[in-house]
Structure 1
Amino acid sequence: MEGLPVRLVIALVVGVACLSVMLNMVSGVEGLAVSELDVRPSPEVTTPGEQDLALTVVDPEGQPVSGATVVVSGDTARLDGVATARTGTNGTATVTVEPTLGPNREQGTLTVSIKPPADGQYADRRGNTRVLVVAE
């Protein structure tokens, strides 16, 4: 800001402060705030072979989120492709998976990612709870 007239600097600072106050006063404006989503798989620990997983998508307060798409993919446990489903009104989606473990592996994990619903202020930037696959 070196070289700018003092009046211009004062006007800029006052303008930014007024804009901040006005945005805080307007109801329904949440700015750039987003809520991080997480998933609660059931069961969290499973065995190789075909089975259904119930995946509940929740917001930071633990409330279910409907309309999100969950994607289950292999990590250290393997899947043929990916499994996807959309959460219902109760925030739960059910996917059928058939995980396998590599040779000489006693356990592995499946990764669950979330595509948030388009009509909410949600994001999925952090890692979600993984499903542990354990050999019988």
Structure 2
Amino acid sequence: MFVELWRDDRAIEGLPIRLVIALVVGVASLSVMMNTISGLDTMTVSEIDVDPSKEVVGEGETDVTLTVVDPDGQPVSDATVVVTGGTATMDGAVTATTDSRGNATVTITPQLGPNQQEGTVTIDVKPPASGGYSDRRRNTRILVVDDGG
């Protein structure tokens, strides 16, 4: 009655079908989990962008309204915009916070260097703490041109 285990071939008969069943159940479970994760809006982050009212300005003091929008073009309130000199120089950074319409008005005074015909002013955005926004891509830059003055 004692059966030697190393000579017993019966255990191998059901193994392939058990592996197939385990694989099918595993793939189905993974599919359900991936659908659940992709449906969570709290894990998604929306990239915001800035739309300046003037994309080309001359040297000297200028008021520019900056509109911060989400990917759907909807305004983003309570975002902080930071305007600094790029290839055009400015005396420090200028900051403002967007209102309920996503608008922030800043007064900039860009200057070009000697023999410099054009330059840029950089706009960065610090997204509001709520809303799941980020600002990883480069925003529109304001072009500063020599107005002959």
Worse-superposed segment, 9-18 or 121-130:
9-18
Structure exhibiting the larger radius of gyration computed from Cα positions: 2
Q: How many residues align?
A: 129
- Select the residue among 128, 131, 134 that pairs with 2:142: 131
Runs of 4+ aligned structure 1 residues displaced above 4 Å come to 6-15
1:86 and 1:73 map into 2 onto residues whose CA distance is 15
The answer to whether the Cα contact below 8 Å between 2:42 and 2:132 also exists between their aligned partners in 1 is no
Partner of 1:3: none
Equivalent position SS for 1:18: helix
Deviations 1:25-60 (A, max 9, x none): x7xx21532111111111111011112110000111
2:70 and 2:142 map into 1 onto residues whose CA distance is 19
- Select the residue among 81, 84, 100 that pairs with 1:89: 100
Offset at residue 129 of structure 1 (A)? 0.5
The one-letter amino acid paired with 2:102 is G
Residue 31 of structure 2 corresponds to residue 20 of structure 1: no
Deviations 1:76-97 (A, max 9, x none): 0000110000000010001111
Alignment of 1:1-136 (within 5 A): 15-23=29-37, 29-136=40-147
Equivalent position SS for 1:52: strand
RMSD (CA atoms): 2.1
TM-score using structure 1 length: 0.83
Partner of 2:5: none
1:8 and 1:112 map into 2 onto residues whose CA distance is 54
TM-score using structure 2 length: 0.76
Q: 1:106 to 1:21 in 2, by over 3 A?
A: closer
